[in-house]
């Protein structure tokens, strides 16, 4: 029964909630569009340096489904390409901040009550006490504004959350009998952390990572909204919104569609995250 039905069982659990399925579909669409951007966007060449003032500021029409911006570029195509830096940021930020935060939290949680615990967690507390967006803005504004530096700034403010999460989970798991057994029988600390505790911490971390994808993308959009991320003419969700702000309410499509895209992305990842959490929940009969 075991391995063959693993996927089937997982899907059954996941699909009990219709909302989670909606989330999964949304995320798949977003990821699919981003990957296939050059092939699915109607005017791929317009996602980049391109001007055509004859077609500037046109409302949505058959050739330009979401209208054109002030430089005459197709908003739909730019939007699809803008998904790329957004997703890239989400992936890279999490790929770096999660291992660091989780690793530190694991070590601190296992050594709860010791000097090492205090050291790690107080540093974490310091980072957590600064309002996150302010911290990111501060860092990004010191460095030259571009996508890489925005990613670095967000990474710096993101790891403490995983540290705290891992700390809480690890410090409760370390009291489980199987961990105590490993200690009593003489297993090395590395084995205990990596083989006994870590696998049991994964479920809240994976759930949070899924939820966070949406929020990292939104934070990234916030940074580029104020000009600290991907610079124009490269399309980015944030800079598209900010470029269109001054044309409200006349040429509303320039701002509204990128904004809706951000909402859809965050919603999709949130719903997917709920589903992932359900997957890990063991149901009582």
Partner 1 sequence: MMATDTVLEVNDLQVSFRVYGGKTRVLDGVNLRVAKGQRVGLVGEAGCGKTTTLKAIMGILPSQAVIEGGQILFRGQDLLKAGPAAVQSFRQRGAAMIFQDPTAALNPVFTVGDLLQVGLRYATESRGKTDKAHLIKRCAETLTEVSLPDPDRIMKTYPFQLSGGMRQRVCIAAAMTATREVLLADEPGTSLDVTIQDQILRLITGLSETKDLAVVLVTHSLGVVREVTEYVYVMYAGVIVEGGPTAEVFARPLHPYTAALMECIPRLTGQGFAEGIPGRLPDYRNPPRGCRFSPRCPQSLKTCGEAKPSLLDAGGRHMVACYLRAR
Partner 2 sequence: MKMDDVLKVTGLKKYFTVGKNVILRAVDGVDLSVCRGETLGLVGESGSGKSTVAYTIVGMYQPTAGTIALNGKNVAGAAVRRTLAQKGAIQIVFQDPGSSLNPRRTIAQSLGLPLRLHRRVSARDLPEKVAELLTLVGLPPEYRDRNPHSIGGGERQLVAVARALATDPIVMILDEPTSALDVSIQAKVIARLADLQSRLGLSYLFITHDLSLMRNVASRVAIMYLGKVSELAPTAAFFRDPLHPYTRMLLSAIPVVTAAEEELKPRKILSKGEIPSPVNVPPGCGFSPRCPEATPVCSKVDPAMVQTSDTHWVRCHVYGATGGPAG
Binding site for partner 2 (CB under 8 A): 2, 176-187, 191, 195-196, 199-200, 282
Nearest to 82 by CA among 98, 60, 66, 94: 66
Per CB under 8 A, the segment of 7-15, 189-197, 236-244, 249-257 that binds partner 1 is: 7-15
* Closest distance of CB 13 from partner 1, Å: 7
150 CB contacts (<8 Å, ≥6 apart)? 89, 136, 140, 220, 223, 224, 228, 229, 230
Q: 109 and 166 in contact (C-beta within 8 Å)?
A: yes
Binder of residue 5, out of partner 1, partner 2, none (CB less than 5 to 8 A by kind): partner 1
Structure tokens belonging to residue 111: 């050594």
Q: What angle do CA 97, 267, 204 make, to 5 degrees?
A: 45
Per CB under 8 A, 191 contacts partner 1: no
126 CB contacts (<8 Å, ≥6 apart)? none
Decide whether 6 or 25 has the Cβ nearer to partner 2: 6
Per CB under 8 A, 13 contacts partner 1: yes
Decide whether 1 or 115 has the Cβ nearer to partner 2: 1
Measured CA to CA, the distance from residue 147 to residue 62 in angstroms comes to 33
Decide whether 142 or 282 has the Cβ nearer to partner 2: 282
* Closest distance of CB 121 from partner 2, Å: 22
User: Which residues are 74's β-sheet partners?
Assistant: 68
Binder of residue 18, out of partner 2, partner 1, none (CB less than 5 to 8 A by kind): none
Per CB under 8 A, 282 contacts partner 1: no
Eight-class DSSP state of 113:
T
Decide whether 6 or 245 has the Cβ nearer to partner 1: 6
Answer whether the bond into residue 233 is a cis peptide, omega within 30°: yes
Structure tokens belonging to residue 246: 């001054």
List 2, 3, 8, 122, residue binding partner 1 (CB under 8 A)? 8
List 9, 61, 188, 189, residue binding partner 1 (CB under 8 A)? 9
Measure Cα distances from 244 to 98, 111, 148, 172 in Å: 34, 51, 24, 49
Decide whether 36 or 202 has the Cβ nearer to partner 2: 202
Binder of residue 2, out of partner 2, partner 1, none (CB less than 5 to 8 A by kind): partner 2
Per CB under 8 A, 280 contacts partner 1: no
Among all chains, which residue has been given the structure tokens 């059954």? 12
* Residue ranges that bind partner 1, judged by CB under 8 A: 5, 8-9, 12-13, 284-285
């Amino acid at each position: 029964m075991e391995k063959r039905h693993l996927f089937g069982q997982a899907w059954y659990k996941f699909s009990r909630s219709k909302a989670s399925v909606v989330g999964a579909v949304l995320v798949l669409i977003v990821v699919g569009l981003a990957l296939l951007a050059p092939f699915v966007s109607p005017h791929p060449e317009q996602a980049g340096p391109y001007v055509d003032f004859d077609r500037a500021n046109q409302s949505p029409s058959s050739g330009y489904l979401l209208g054109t911006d002030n430089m005459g570029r197709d908003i739909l195509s730019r939007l699809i390409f803008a998904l790329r830096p957004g997703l890239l940021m989400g992936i890279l930020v999490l790929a770096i901040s999660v291992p660091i935060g989780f690793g530190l939290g694991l070590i601190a949680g296992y050594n709860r009550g010791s000097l090492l615990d205090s050291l790690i967690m107080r540093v974490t507390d310091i980072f957590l006490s600064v309002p996150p967006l302010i911290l990111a803005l501060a860092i990004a504004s010191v460095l030259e504004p571009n996508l890489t530096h925005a990613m670095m700034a967000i990474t710096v403010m993101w790891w403490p959350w995983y540290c705290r999460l891992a700390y809480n989970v690890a410090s409760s798991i370390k009291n489980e009998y199987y961990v105590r057994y490993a200690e009593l029988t003489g297993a090395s600390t590395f084995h205990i952390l990596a083989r006994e505790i870590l696998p049991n911490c994964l479920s809240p971390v994976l759930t949070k990572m899924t939820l966070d994808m949406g929020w990292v993308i939104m934070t990234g959009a916030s940074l580029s909204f104020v000009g600290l991320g991907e610079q124009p003419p490269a399309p980015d969700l944030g800079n598209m919104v900010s470029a269109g702000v001054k044309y409200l309410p006349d040429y509303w499509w320039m701002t509204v569609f990128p904004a809706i895209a951000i909402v859809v992305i965050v919603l999709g990842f949130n719903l997917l995250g709920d589903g992932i959490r359900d997957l890990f929940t063991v149901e009582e009969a």
